[in-house]
Amino acid sequence: MTNSKMSMPTPYGGYYQTATPLDDQELTRTGPGTPCGEYMRRFWWPVAMVEQVTDLPLLIMVLGEELV
């Protein structure tokens, strides 16, 4: 029950394919207001080493958003 168009001519024949699929915008964009961005913001992100944390705020860019 295999489709002859979908089967590779050799085992592991995908290695020889030159075409790459396009980026899935819903999964690869993590900016503010994007589905993946909203999901990723629900988790803890280590963004600085302890040595970098001082009395002054540290400006960083995480997931396409500048944070202090």
pLDDT tens-digit map of 24-40: 888 888 888 999 989 99
- Could you tell me which of 42, 43, 44, 47 has the C-alpha nearest to residue 67? 47
User: What is the C-alpha separation between 34 and 10, in angstroms, rounded?
Assistant: 40
E strand or H helix at 38, and its extent? Answer: helix 35-40
Residue-wise pLDDT for 9-19, tens only, equals 677 777 777 77
- Mean pLDDT across the stretch 41-63? 90
Domain residue ranges of the chain, discontinuous segments joined by +? 21-67
d(CA 66, CA 10): 48
pLDDT, residue 7, reads 57
